[in-house]
Amino acid sequence: MKTKSSKNLNRRDFIKTSATAAIGVGLLPVMPKIYKVPGLMTRSFGRLNHEVTTFGLGGQASIQWTPDDVDPVTIILKAFDKKINYFDTSNLYGPSQTNYGRAFRQLKLIPGMAGYDEQLRESIFLTSKTHLRVAKGNLNVEGVNNWTNGPAGSHTIDDIKRTLSQIFGDGKGNYPEGAYIDMVLIHSLSSKAEVDLIYEGLYDTDARNERIGALAALRDYRDGSNLTGLNPKEEKLIRHIGFSGHYDAGVMIDMIQRDKDNLLEGMLVAINPNDKLYFNMQHNVIPVAAAKNMGVIAMKVFADGAMYTKGAHWSNQPSHVVRQVGSKDVPFRPLIEYSLTTPGISTAIIGIGQISDNPAECQLSQNIAASQIEPGWLSESDRKAIEDNTARIKDGKTNYFQQEQRGLSAVNNPQIKKLDNLHIQLTWDTAYAGNQPIETYEIWRNNIKAGAVKHAPQTTKEPFVFNDTVEDPGKASYKIITVDKKGNKTETDTISLVQTAL
């Protein structure tokens, strides 16, 4: 049996030499041994009773922006043939849902059709998305984008029914009884104003409300209830609710913390080796989602193709689809391994540009093979080596979809209050991590360390707390210092009762 050190040495050697595995005539070696492993690796999908394959089929690339010589249905069918069980699409992905519908008909996954394969349908996990933050009322809210490929004026549930119609129905608004979506993600959060709107009416649900946010309506269509008045037939069309984001980790943390009832069971998040060059996800929001036992799906594994032939911008045409398997300078395998060994990740969705009968030239086959990896396979030094390699690509400016790096922050919302003549209480909300995880919060009173509080993911709006005993609370002044794993520190301004009184 190999020791951990020999495994890591082999992995480092692999990272340095795996450029030979890039696609190109004669460049790919014999297929890796992983193809001899029976079946595919799976991981628990958060607190759901479902094991997901470590590779999930993304709904973009050629399934959305289809080149003339590609049939997107064959990509979906081949993923099923290889026993993939996590499938991704969205109401914003053009013909993606319709292409899934064409494939699902061939696979007999349409309820009510002759030969309906209910067992196969139950074995897979189908996720779609809505970018509509409002389920009822005025869509025009400052700081909020409500986007859909559906009719103007659509609200959240219109998108859900559109998904069901395009995948399982006639594409004209109708869908068969028994059709459902495993999870609907509220897509691409980017501002606090959006989170405010999404939660509107959730905890004071009343069908008479002029405006109701997405979450309250999604809950109705999950539970078969009609608290919002928007589900008069009391249909159950979805099984789980989640959200996605790739821009602002702080906004995504806020989205999770406001969820008092654990409605959110999944999170789709951008994560690749250039993550730490930006306001990173891996030391900020991913640990919060994992601490709430949410299923976490990695996306942007190749930075939406910016690691390769595509520019650092949103895709909007077939020419932007990457159809190669890695490159000489940036092998694909370490990028996939990096995402899948990020703590908390359940699966990674990857868009496919092209497939081939030759496994060496088939993106799907190669990406599935690279995804057969245990969560802890890469060491910290392995991950650092991958980061160093990808940081050179486009001068590290690949993650155009991600907010700029902030570095280690001071704690948010520090507060002080007097409990009695001898006791003071300090409270604060989580700091944001830079390129290292946060370890602790030190409390300094009158320039002397008074104690420390260990950092943990802040999963609710309940703050961190430090209680202190002092002889004269009015003369005590405090600083809260954030300390990360490498000993880097960031402190608050001075906090005192005198300042609070002012």
CATH at residue 423: 2.60.40.10
Radius of gyration of the chain (CA): 24
Residue 389 shares a structural domain with residue 421:
no
Q: Which domain holds residue 66?
A: 32-396
Token pair of 412 as six digits: 């948010």
The string of pLDDT tens digits covering residues 252-295 is 999 999 999 999 999 999 999 999 999 999 999 999 999 999 99
Residue 331 shares a structural domain with residue 480:
no
Residue 53 shares a structural domain with residue 192:
yes
- The mean per-residue pLDDT over the stretch 398-409 comes to 96
- The mean per-residue pLDDT over the stretch 26-52 comes to 64
Distance CA(89)–CA(316), nearest Å, equals 16
pLDDT at 500: 67
Residue 344 shares a structural domain with residue 211:
yes
Whole-model pTM: value is: 0.92
Report which of 463, 461, 88 is spatially closest to residue 256, judged by C-alpha positions.
Answer: 461
pLDDT at 142: 87
Cβ pair 252, 245 in contact under 8 A? yes
Coil, helix or strand for 341?
A: coil
For the chain, how many structural domains are there in total?
2
Residue 20 in domain: no
Residue 377 shares a structural domain with residue 495:
no
Indicate the residue type of 305: G
Residue 80 shares a structural domain with residue 224:
yes
Q: What is the CATH number of the domain that holds 349?
A: 3.20.20.100
Coil, helix or strand for 177?
A: coil
Residue 17 in domain: no
Residue 24 in domain: no
Distance CA(478)–CA(142), nearest Å, equals 38
Cβ pair 9, 321 in contact under 8 A? no
Coil, helix or strand for 244?
A: strand
135 vs 2: which has the higher pLDDT: 135
Checking if the pLDDT of 28 tops 60, the result is no
What are residue 245's DSSP bridge partners? 269
pLDDT at 498: 79
Residue 221 in domain: yes
Q: What is the 8-class DSSP label of residue 21?
A: G
Q: How many C-beta atoms lie closer than 10 Å to residue 497's C-beta?
A: 17
- The mean per-residue pLDDT over the stretch 306-318 comes to 95
Checking if the pLDDT of 451 tops 50, the result is yes
Please, what's the largest Cα pairwise distance for the chain?
Answer: 80
The overall average pLDDT reported for the chain is 92
Residue 341 shares a structural domain with residue 425:
no
Residue 389 shares a structural domain with residue 418:
no
The string of pLDDT tens digits covering residues 195-249 is 999 999 999 999 999 999 999 999 999 999 999 999 999 999 999 999 999 999 9
pLDDT at 501: 59
Checking if the pLDDT of 27 tops 70, the result is no
List of residues 6+ apart from 119 with CB closer than 8 A: none
